């Protein structure tokens, strides 16, 4: 897998409103994003996988990139840390931090 740079983002959200963080990964290398740090006041409310760029006319091909979507709800500001890794390995190949500011 090509190792990309770590990334970050800052979001402003309404207190109690649901929002999502979408993270791309390879579809066939065994890597997946996991929540590595979740502060009090922010909760994961769902998780889904979507083929990147797939449509009804152009279905995904095996091993194509996948978008991993984390649905979240924030009642307080904080920073969420995600790690891209294989479940059987300790080390991550990439991290993503989402700085959440509640209005």
Can you give the pLDDT at residue 9? Answer: 96
User: Which of the two residues, 63 and 77, has the higher pLDDT score?
Assistant: 77
Domains of the chain, CATH where assigned: 7-52+63-102 (2.60.40.2020)
Per-residue model confidence as pLDDT tens digits over 30-65:
999 999 999 999 999 999 988 887 666 777 677 788
Start-to-end Cα distance in the chain: 38
Confidence of residue 2 (pLDDT cuts 50, 70, 90): low
User: Which of the two residues, 50 and 84, has the higher pLDDT score?
Assistant: 84
Burial 49-84 (b: 16+ CB within 10 A, else e): eeeeeeeeeeeeeeeeebbbebebbbeebbebbbbb
pTM given for the model: 0.86
Can you give the pLDDT at residue 103? Answer: 92
């Amino acid at each position: 897998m090509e190792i990309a740079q770590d990334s970050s983002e800052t979001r402003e959200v309404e207190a109690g409103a649901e929002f999502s963080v979408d993270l791309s990964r390879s579809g066939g290398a065994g890597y997946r994003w996991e929540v590595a740090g979740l502060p009090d006041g922010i909760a994961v409310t769902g998780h889904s996988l979507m083929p990147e760029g797939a449509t009804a006319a152009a279905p995904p091909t095996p091993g194509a990139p996948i978008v991993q979507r984390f649905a979240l709800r924030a009642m307080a500001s904080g920073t969420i840390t995600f790690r891209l890794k294989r479940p059987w390995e300790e080390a991550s190949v990439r991290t993503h931090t989402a700085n959440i500011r509640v209005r």
